[in-house]
Amino acid sequence: MLMWQDWVNGILGLWIIVVPFIGLTGASLVWTLAVTGIVIAVLGFWSGAQQSTSAV
């Protein structure tokens, strides 16, 4: 069963592919990628924590 975090990670992965082609430059590009990376990291750690606690 896929959790909603997996779907969000997939969408964010596609977003990372699209970002270079939408014309962002400078600070807006840095902030976009930084926020995207933070969201991916939080969801990844959260998903890992849920899986490790359900295995016990």
Q: What is the pLDDT of residues 3-32, one digit of tens each?
A: 777 788 788 889 888 998 999 889 999 999
0.85 surpassed by pTM: no
Give residue 54's pLDDT: 66
Task: Give the dihedral sign, CA 38/43/44/45.
Answer: positive
Give residue 9's pLDDT: 78
Q: Find all residues with CB under 8 Å of 12, minimum gap 6, and list them.
A: 36, 39, 40, 43
